Structures are given as structure tokens and as C-alpha cells.
Structure 1
Amino acid sequence: MERKPYLMSAVIGNSRLLASLGKRAELERLFWPRIDTPQNIGRNWLGLAIDGQPRTSWFHEDQWQSHQYYLPDSAVLVTVLQGSENSIKAEITDFAVPGRDLLVRHLQVTNTGAADQRLRLLLFSQLQIGEYGRYHTTIFRPQAEALWQFKQNYHFLWAADRPAQQFQCGGAMMNADNGQLSPVMHAMATDGAMAWDLGLLAPGHSNAITIFLSLGPSYELALAQLEKAREEGYAALLAATRSYWKGYLAQAKPVQTGDERLDALYRRSLIVFSLMTDAEHGSMIAAPEFDEDFTRCGGYAYCWGRDAAFITYAIDRAGYKEAAARFYRWAAKAQNADGSWEQRYYLDGAIAPNWGLQIDETGSVLWGMWQHYALYRERAFLAEMWPSFKKGAEFLINFRDAETGLPQPSFDLWEERCGEHTYSAVAVWAGLMAAADAATTLGYQEEAERWRQAAEELGQRIQEKLWHPGYNRFLRGVKLCVNREEYQWRTGQGEKGVILPGERGQMIYCLQEDAVVDVSLLGLTVPFAFLPPDDPRVEATAQAVEQFLTSPRVGGIKRYENDHYIGGNPWILCTLWLAQYHGARGNYQRAKELLYWAVDHQTATGLLPEQVDRETGQPAWVVPLTWSHAMLVLTVLDLLEKGQF
């Protein structure tokens, strides 16, 4: 299959399925039966055959100008298209029906010209069911007026609220492009097409049609769902979907800042949390997948303890208590027998592709469990999580470097370098303190004393080993692992290094100090509260973050000095991390400036990307990034609680 676009414009879903769409309502990706995997769409095109024109005018083509938005406070997407080479306006409304494996695509087509126009709507569907391009079957079922595409227990039914005028199974792309399908009813093929007559439209007149995609583990179940949808009709399904999202938002803590643009983005963030959370397990993905072949990154449709610590804390503070508790119950099941958590997981708890151990994950999950208890004080939850606290804390105690007293080398939170990192050490400290607090609350005094003592010892080592008076800031880390060539070059420039023997006799080349300024150093205060925000050392470190990491042309904060990932852009979450620090320090004006920088760099559909292009200020890379939305929610709540709105 050809590579799909990285940057998406919008997402729709219902925690059972997730779809990513382009700016002209191109259905680029469809994740089902889970929102992390598999992705089942190869090509999916909608277009109009217009009498007198030689080929189908596909909506994804450049001749269509588009405007896209969500209906307020919902996951219902509207795309308005106007043809530049024809006199047609099309409005497409897309949504997933809550609680069902059902996608609805409603089109209203209007003749904006001065003469009558005869139109037909075409759908071309090429699937890669289960992310695999073989062993598919496509059948047209006349009794159901549906195109049935299936493989094994994945069944897709495409149909409309009226009979099809034409259909074709297999080899349909060329004919669909020409606007005339050949009535092949059955093919062992990945593709098929359908066409519906929209009639002769007089100037200013419209016609509407609703297309359904019903998915199921069998033809019978998918068909029953399709028939029910047809019986209910578009208007009822839309009303039920909008009502669902209204009810979902009503469960949250009321937030009113006095700025509707900010409030709307806050509410949109809450919707993103739901879309990115798995209905069955309660785990969440970092973002909808967009780089399936790992061409420029290692993928995003996985659950990280790192992201989840921030996301679930935001979910918790926004008032979605049960959603947060479900995540921690999932985390307890996913935890390794030795007490650690892997770097990332599929949403069912299976280990996902990864680089290796990332120790801050284990500390962060334990910290988050305690934050949930601290918000709601439900002792039963704490008792339920006790085995995870105990296993996790014991793992962290044993995962110490005898020489430095810090956690042993592991990957940093950006998963780019191995060493003993300040952020990771502080996350471990927070995890141990959380476990000690849980033990005290539940009456396990022996464990509480041992874990608290270990945390205090670690805290002392952090301050001894990672604060650097010469730089007047905390180091990013120590014992930074590099390859031999980099080691030789950097030690030749005067940096201190050490060569250590590995477990299998190999040589490990380490630089003794990693002095790069990194936004994650704010973790000393936010969110882990290892040191107070007015500690002079924290203040000096935060000043270095702002000085060295502010992007000069468009503003915003980068991850770290000389970051080259996707061009070294400022990140939404990094900018909001600094905003949270300034809010904690009482620098409210600066906190708001950084907050509104993020608001100003949302996408046209009100989603927060991972990065903002350092030259153009346009969204870059991932849309939406759940962690970005979590930081927005946390920043707003922090400032609200301090009476700053």
C-alpha cells in the first residue's frame, strides 16, 4: 500500500473505533476493533460523477476547496467543500455512533450554478483488513443493498439509505474514476465501488444521502446493525450522538474561564481523552497511528506509562473518576511480575514494540495511582492497588546504581538516550513516596518506612549528583551512554568519560555529565513536587529552560537544546509544562502567555498537535497528541484553582 499522509486534520470515533480524516473529509485510516490496531483502510474515496465531465470529481482532489469544523461540544465533524472546477457544494457530516461499530457519513449536495446538473455519488473502497492486503472478499448483496467486504471475522458493510444505482466488486478503481461501474457481484479482491443517483438538481437545489459503514465479527451482526441504522435514520442517529457527547461533558467539573475560545478547547480536550481511550480496557493511546511503517518514528498508537501519568492525572482532575480508576486497574494487570512496567503496551495489555526499559514509567504509574486516591480518598481503591504498589516499590528499590545511588541507566522520557537522568530519578522518587504514603494509609508500617527511607536517600543523591553549581542548573543526567566514536570525540574535547564493562563483556562508553538543557528538568517541581518551585536551584533551571529552549521565530518551547526530531520544533506540551511551572511559582501573567500560545496554535478543527513548525507556526507532526491536550487541561485547572480567571 502507498504511504498515507502523516498529518491528519480530524478524528472521529467512539472508543470502539477510531477514524482519521484529511482536510477534505478523506477517510484515511480506520482502526477497529480496537482504536490502536488494526488499521483497515487502503483507499476510501467519495466523489461525484457529473454529467458532461469526463471523469469522477473525487472530493480528496485539489479542485475542492474545504472548510472543516466540529459541531460544538461533540465528535461530529462537518466538512464543507466547494468545487473550483464545477458549481457544486458538498457538506459532509461524519461521526461514529456511541456504543456501536457504526460509522455515518451524511452528504448534502447543492447545485450552486446557473444550470441544471445531473449527479451521481460514487464510493470506492479498498481495504487492508487487519493491516494485510491478502485473502479479502468483496460481494454485493442485492437483498441488503450493501457492499460486503470481509476477511476472517472482520466484516465491513457499506450501504446507503437508498438502493444503489451501480456497483462493482474487484478491479473497480478505473471504472469508478470513469464514473461507470461494471456489475460484478463477487470477487476475491480488496476493492469495490458503489454509485447512487442524486438526480437532476436545479440551480440552488440540494439532495442528501447517508452512507453507513457497519462493522462486525460476522455478516449477520453487521447486517442487523445496518438495518437498525437505516430504520432509525440519519437525524435520529445524529441527535443521539450529540446527546451522548453533551452527557459526557456534563460529567466533568464545570470550567468557565471567561474566554470561550479557551473553554471550547478545554472541552475539546476532554472529548479527545474519550476518543483515545479504549472502551473495553480503559487504557489510552498517545495518538492515532500515522506512521505505521516506522518511517520517521517508532509509532504512537500505544499506551505509555509516561504519557498516561499526565493524561490520567488530567482526566482525574477534570472529574472523570471512574475513567481514571479503569486505567489504573488496567495498569495493575499489565504490570510485570518483577514490579516494573514496560516502555509501552497495546491497549489489551500486550507488550508493544519498544527500545528497552524506561524507568520513569514505573515511578509515574505509582505516582498516578496515589494522586487518584488523594483526590477521592477511596480506601477500597488503594487496597485494590496495594499489590501493584508493593511490587513496583520493591523493583524501584532494587534498581539502583551502587556507585551513584541513582536509578540504573535506562532510556530517558524521550526514548532517545540511555543514562541516569534527572527526570527519571525524580519520577522514581515520586513513585517511592507514593508507595510509602499508600503503605502508611493501609497500615503497612514496615514497608512504609523502608520505601520512604529509600526515597529520602534517592532525593539526597539527586541533589548531590545532579545539581551542578558551575552551570547553575541541574544536569539532564549522568552516565550518558554513547557510541565509541562520539565518546572519543567528546572526551577529546575535554568532557569527562568512563568506559565500563557490560554484562556480556562488551564495553559501555559513558560521559560522566549530560549538561544539555531539557524541559523535562521542570519535573523536579511539576508534576512530581520533589523541590518547591521557589527553590533557587529550580528557579535557575527554569530560567535556563526558557532562555535556551524558546523557539526564536514562532515562540514556544522545544524539548531540549539541538533537538533534531522532525526539525527541532517547539512542542505544545513543553510550552504548557513551562506555563505550569510559572503558575506554581506565582508568575501568572507569564503562565497565561504560554497557555495562550498553545491556544493560538491549535488546528483549524480545534485539536492540539504535538509540535508547531518552527518557521511557519503551522501544526507539525502528530494531530491530536493526547499528552498535549492533557497539559492544556492541567494548566487551565491550575490557574483556575489559583483564581486567575
Structure 2
Amino acid sequence: MSDAQQQERKVSDLELGVVGNCSFAALIDRDASVVWCCLPRFDGDPVFHSLLGSPPDMEDGGFFAIDLEDRVHSEQDYCGNTAVLETVLHGKQGSVRITDFAPRFFWRDRLYHPNMLIRRLTPVSGTPRIRIRLRPRYDYGAALPSLTFGSHHIRYVGPHSVLRLTTNAPLDYVREETLFNLSSPVDLLLGPDETLHEGIAHTARNFEERTRDYWRRWVHRLAIPFEWQSAVLRAAITLKLCTYEGTGAIVAALTTSIPEAPGTQRNWDYRYCWVRDAYFVVRALNRMAAMRKMENYFDWLMNIVASAAGSHIQPVYGLGLESELTERIIPNLPGYRGMGPVRVGNQAYQHFQHDSYGNVILGVAQAFLDRRLMSPPTRMDFLRLEDMGRQALACYDKPDAGMWELRSRARIHTTSSLMCWAAADRLARIADYIGEPERARDWRQEAERIKQVILERAWSQKRQAFVESLDGEYLDAGVLLMTEVGFIDPNDPRMVSTLEQIESALGRGAHMMRYEAADDFGEPTTAFTTCSFWRIDALARMGRREEARDYFEALLAQRNRLGMMSEDIDVKTGEAWGNYPQTYSMVGVINCAMRLSRSWEKAI
């Protein structure tokens, strides 16, 4: 099989494993090829980018492959409740196991999580013949590295950074991509241009053992439901892998430019932190008692609040609080399955999305009420949040781009008004808790004022539903969040009717479309997985649990072999589309399982 044929096969779907350590992450296909990895962090330069193709005028590159001669089939799974991935390649002459992980463990009383990918190759049967093909690229595939060599390492020197492969494999075989017999284990450590302090095999083995132990201990502390435990644990680990330890930010996904649907131009860069998406992630992890994430995210959010100083909050920021995420197109990468464009940056940073104020306050509200935190919020933190609340009061009835980030149309979106109400409501609750009764009274009055506007203007007598904008006429699955944030009783006749109308117009079996009105690119053609989970949650709240369970089981069946989901699903083929893994989707798995599962007391 030629290189070109192999590359075509390797980007054919989103059956990708994820390894990482909350510093960086790598996506690995079912044949053990690393097809996506950005350094030095999630939104950095993809040194492995074959998921989005290679420049047409250059030799194929942007991948880290372990090829087995006469490969017949492969198996792939995670090692128990860890982020350590194992792929077994079976061939006519033998089999090889590839163990992939990024080191993460406590060392010298602190977390150790270097930008290092470790690949351990072990012969399983026979005499497997393998070829190691390590072809990093820089500047989004535009720059080839220059190579220098040592006795046990190869340095891949790029314009702005250097990668070092340290290995006990024959260096000549790696350098020349020579096919050779794998008669004994081989370790490949790819990371910073630094010398190892101990032997190669010892380091790889030690790091693997300690990384496995870290993940097992992390999972051991989680509170999980009785049912669907495997699905929930994999979702939780995946969400953890999408968090950036350095600042507390949470990316919406690890990729850019996987189309929401084939040939639609709906290709976006999701490697940034949306305050909306991150709130839902933190809330899901909180439900599982993963408290440390809430503390880290609280710090990240309060930096945004302090920097804003009472002015406009962007819906999205960089991992290091970067406020400018200028969007540009990378012309030399053809895109996923050749479906460009490949975009870097996201225009949404320039948008006015008024739900951001509510999402900020919702994201930190529990921190004020939870006595377990090591560094609880202060009164000054509350006063700064009040600045966000005042912004919400000023814009709850003003047009914006909405939560779906429409680029050429502004309306007074119901979900934006709803989250402005949530901002005032949660400020009232926080004020009550911290002993500020007058402030609590004032915020409660403001919340009630906003609520009455929404109830009067978002309800459509014609559609018998709450609609997507005040005084509007179109349906939108986002209004199902009314029950999620406690705005209205789920059994209120208006909410029951709203769900019925949304199901009728937007439901596609177990799946849900986002909205019925055409957007900048026409009408959406794939279901948005998060909306499907919102429908399940709403059904459960209304007492329709068996129906909700059936839909939930159907959605779980849409996960890939490793238990992960992207953003969108083709309702006809079941094929995954959109950026991957999508945190919104993994949140849905956790939330619905927690709501629908039988209790431990009733199960045992």
C-alpha cells in the first residue's frame, strides 16, 4: 500500500483515540497513526496534521505512523479507566501492541505533565515486521524540519521549535523508515529537546506505570451513577483531557475545521475556551465531585472578569486569556477528506453574545456556596461579578449573534435573554448566602423583571411554543435550557407544549436539529448532538423517563468504538461530523446518565 493510499485510509472517519495530559493532546487512528497533535498547547501548531491532509506540493507528512507489514486487522481500546491507549496490529507474520500515553503524575509534590508523547512497541506474537514513519511538519504543514542526530535521538528542528525523539530502536531504521523485525520491545519518547535523566526503557516503563496510576486514582474519586458507568467514566476522562492545566481554561474541542456536514463550509476552529461550553463542562464534572476543575476554572473566569472591569465580555478567549483570535484560512492544507477550508482562529471573539454574562456567573456560582474549596471566593469577587450582572441588565433585550454565533444576522435571542436572567437570579442567591440581603432583594427584583419580559415576548401563541427570539416565530432547541437553569417548571403547560412543538419540527428520531430557520450557510443538515441530550433531559424532568432512556440508549450507540463523540451526527447514516471530541457532547452523556440512572440504593 502506497503512502498516499495509507493516508487516505487514515483520515476516513473520526474513530480516533485521544491521549493527553491537560497540557497537550494527540489523536490516534485505529491503525496507531498519530494524525493530529498541536504543540505546545491545544491551540498551537499542529505538528501532526494529516487529519486535515498534507500540502499538495510537499511529500506526505504530518503524522507519526507505526506500519505493520501485511497488516490484516487491528484492535484498539483504553487500558481500563485511564487515558493510556493500546492498539494491537495483527499481520500475517505476527502482531505488535502499541501503547500510547502522555505522562501525567505527581512528582516532587507537583503535577508533572510535559509535552511528551510516549509510544511503547511490544511484539505480541510471531515476528512482526514494522516501519516507523515519523514526519512532523511545522507552520500548519508549510515547513519541513531539518534533522540532526545523536547516539539515541533525532532532533526535528523547525522554524520556532524543536522536537526530540529519544528511542532504543535502531536509529538508522527510524531515520530511513526501514522495515525491520520487531524482536524485542521498543520505546519512542517524543518531546522537548532535553536529555533523559535515566535510561530509555526505564523512563518509558516508569512513566507509564505512574500515568496509569494517576488516572485510576482520579477516576476512583469520582461520584458516578449505577447505570452506564463505562460511558460516564470515558466521558469524564475525555472532558479532563480537554482542560488546560496551565490556566484552567477548557477547550470546546481538540480540533479545527472538521465540517459540521460534508461540503458545507461550516468549518470552525474550536481549540479555544467558550465561557458557555466551559460552564457546562464544569457543571458536569462538579456533579461527579471533580472539585479541582471548578477551582481552576473559577480562577480563569475571575481573571476575565477582572480584565473586563465591567465592560463587554467576549464569548470566547484563548487558553492564556488571549482576547484576539483573528480568524484566517490555511490555504496549503486541503482539509478533512479534502473538504476545506481549514480555519485558524475564530471570528466569534468579535461577537456580542449576551448569554456570556449569565454563563460566567453560572460558571462560578457554586464556588460561593461550596464549603469544600481550598481557596473560597471573596466578597471582592462577588462585587466584580455584580459588574457582569449590570452588563446583563443593560443588554438582555438587545440584539446579538446568539448562542449559535450567527455571522450575518442579529436578533434578541431568547437564550441570550434567558442567561441574562440567570445572571441576576444567581447573583441574588449568592448575595443571600454571603449575608447581603439588600443586594439579594435588588437582584431578585431585576431577575423577575427580565423573566416577565421573556415570558411575554418569547412565547408565540401561533407556534404554541417559546421561540428562538423575542417577538419571533422560529423554533430553536436552545430554549430547552429554560428548565436546565431553573427558569420555568418543566411541567408548566407552556414548556410541555414547547417541547412537543420542537420535537415535531426538529426531531429526527433520537436526534435533534438546532433550529429551523436558515442561517448564514442555509439550513443545517446534521443533528447537533448537544440538542439531542437537551431533549432527553427535558423529557426526564417532565416524567417521561422511559422515553428519555430509549433516546439515551440510541445516542450512546452513536459513540465511536472508544466511547467518544464529535459535534454532529448525520441522521441518515449515523456518521460523525464536526470537531472532535466535542466537550458539549460528552457533557450530555454524563448529565443524562446521572439523571436517568437507577439509584444505587434501588439497584443493590
After TM superposition, is the score higher than 0.5? yes
* Matched residue, 2:313: 341
Q: Does the aligned pair in 1 maintain the 2:33–2:66 contact within 8 Å? A: no
Is 1:310 aligned to residue 299 of structure 2?
no
Asked whether the equivalents of residues 253 and 271 of structure 2 are also in contact (C-alpha less than 8 Å), the reply is yes
Amino acid at match of 1:266: V
Is contact 2:225-2:599 (8 Å) kept?
A: no
Displacement of 1:450: 3.2
Question: Match for 1:470 among 455, 459, 462?
Answer: 462
C-alpha separation in 2, matches of 1:107 and 1:230: 13
Asked if 1:525 is matched to 2:483, the reply is yes
| 1:229–1:237 contact (8 Å) kept in structure 2 | no
Task: Report the alpha carbon displacement of residue 575 of structure 1 after superposing the two structures with TM.
Answer: 1.6
Deviations 1:531-588 (CA, angstroms, capped at 9, x unpaired): 1111110110011122222215xx3222222677896222332121111112222222
**How far did residue 153 of structure 1 move?**
6.1
Report the residue type matching 1:569 in the other structure. T
The answer to whether the Cα contact below 8 Å between 2:47 and 2:136 also exists between their aligned partners in 1 is: no
What do residues 563-615 of structure 1 show as CA deviations (whole Å, max 9, x unaligned)?
77896222332121111112222222122122212211111111122222211
Name the structure 2 match of 1:54.
none
**Any conservation in 2 of the 1:17–1:34 contact (CA below 8 Å)?**
yes
Aligned-partner SS, 2:18: strand
Match of 2:79 in 1: 71
For the aligned residue pairs, the C-alpha RMSD in angstroms reads: 3.0
Q: 1:634 aligned to 2:591? A: yes
The equivalent residue for 2:54 is none
Q: CA deviation at 1:14?
A: 0.4
Distance 2:381 2:15 in 1: 38
Deviation at 1:132, TM superposition (A): 6.6
Amino acid at match of 1:354: Q
Match of 1:319 in 2: 289
Summarize deviations over 1:471-495 as a string: whole Å, max 9, x none.
Answer: 21112103xxxxxxxxxxxxxxxxx
Letter aligned with residue 47 of structure 2: N
Aligned twin of 2:333: none
Moved over 6 A (4+): 562-566, 641-645
Q: Bigger relative contact order, structure 1 or 2, given CA contacts below 8 A and separation 6+? A: 2
Correspondence 1:624 to 2:596: no
TM-score (norm 1): 0.77
* Aligned positions of 1:533-548 closer than 5 A: 533-548=490-505
**Structure 2 Cα separation of the partners of residues 12 and 435 of structure 1:** 38
SS in 2 for 1:411: coil
1:377 to 1:251, Cα distance in 2 relative to 1, 3 A: closer
What does 1:81-100 correspond to in 2, within 5 Å?
A: 81-83=89-91, 86-98=92-104, 99-100=113-114
Contact 2:19 2:26 in 1 (8 A): yes
CA distance in 1, matches of 2:289, 2:137: 39
Distance apart, 1:131 and its partner CA: 3.9
Q: Does the CA contact (< 8 Å) of 1:273 and 1:626 recur in 2? A: yes
CA contact (8 A) 2:15 2:560 kept: no
| Contiguous gaps of at least 5 residues in structure 1 | 51-56, 58-62, 169-174, 180-194, 200-205, 400-405, 479-512
Q: Which amino acid aligns with 1:92?
A: I
Distance 1:588 1:286 in 2: 29
Equivalences for residues 414-453 of structure 1 within 5 A:
414-416=404-406, 417-453=409-445
Structure 1 equivalent of residue 357 of structure 2: 362
Report the equivalent of 1:383: 379
* Residue pair 1:316, 1:372 contacting (<8 A) in 2 also: no
Aligned equivalents of 1:341 and 1:593: distance in 2?
39
Report the Cα distance in structure 2 between the residues aligned to 1:141 and 1:131, rounded to whole angstroms: 27
Q: Distance in 1 between matches of 2:547 and 2:199?
A: 51
Question: Are the aligned partners of 1:160 and 1:212 in contact in 2 as well (CA < 8 Å)?
Answer: yes
Residues of 2 paired with 1:641 and 1:337: CA distance? 46
Higher-Rg structure is: 1
Tell me the number of residue pairs that the alignment of Structure 1 and Structure 2 aligns: 541
Match of 2:474 in 1: 516
Question: Which residue does the alignment assign to 1:506?
Answer: none
TM-score by length of 2: 0.82
CA pair 431-118 structure 1, distance change in 2 beyond 3 A: closer
Name the SS of the counterpart of 1:313 in structure 2.
Answer: helix
1:124 aligns with 2:134: yes
Which residue is 2:340 aligned to? none
Letter in 1 for 2:244: D
Q: Following TM superposition, by how much is the alpha carbon of 1:359 offset from its aligned partner in structure 2, in angstroms?
A: 0.9
How many angstroms apart in 1 are the aligned matches of 2:304 and 2:541?
33
Give the CA deviation at 1:36: 2.7
Structure 1 window deviating more from structure 2 (316-325 vs 381-390): it is 381-390
Assess, with a 3 A threshold, how the Cα gap between structure 1 residues 96 and 634 changes in structure 2: closer, same or farther.
same
Instruction: Give the letter for the 1:409 counterpart.
Output: P
Q: How does 1:566-645 map to 2 (within 5 A)?
A: 568-640=525-597
Judge conservation of contact 2:77–2:562 (CA < 8 Å) in 1: yes
Quote the residue 2:255 is aligned against: 289
- The letter of the residue matching 2:515 is Y
Secondary structure at the aligned position of 1:349 is classed as coil
Please say if 1:211 is aligned against 2:211.
Answer: no
CA distance 1:367–1:642, change in 2 (3 Å): farther
Q: Does 1:560 align with 2:515?
A: yes
Secondary structure, counterpart of 1:638 in structure 2: helix
The corresponding residue for 1:551 is 508
Q: Report Cα offsets for 1:19-74 as digits up to 9, x if no partner.
A: 01222122112122222323222522434586xxxxxx7xxxxx653322111111
Q: Is the 8 A contact 1:397 1:451 kept in 2?
A: no
2:368 corresponds to: 373
- Of 281-290 and 583-592, deviating more is 583-592
Secondary structure (helix, strand or coil) at the match of 2:134 reads: strand
Gaps of 5+ in 2: 1-6, 49-60, 105-112, 326-345
Q: Report Cα offsets for 1:202-255 as digits up to 9, x if no partner.
A: xxxx5432211122xxx3xx223xx43615244333221211110111221243
Give the share of equivalent positions with the same residue, in percent. Answer: 22
For the 8 Å contact 2:86–2:100, the answer to whether it is kept is yes
Cα 1:383–1:596 shift into 2, 3 Å: farther
Q: In the alignment, what sits opposite 1:185? A: none
Amino acid at match of 1:519: A
What is the Cα deviation at residue 430 of structure 1?
Answer: 0.5
Match of 1:37 among 37, 44, 58: 44
**Residue 392 of structure 1 aligns to a residue in which SS?**
helix
What's the CA shift for 1:163?
4.0
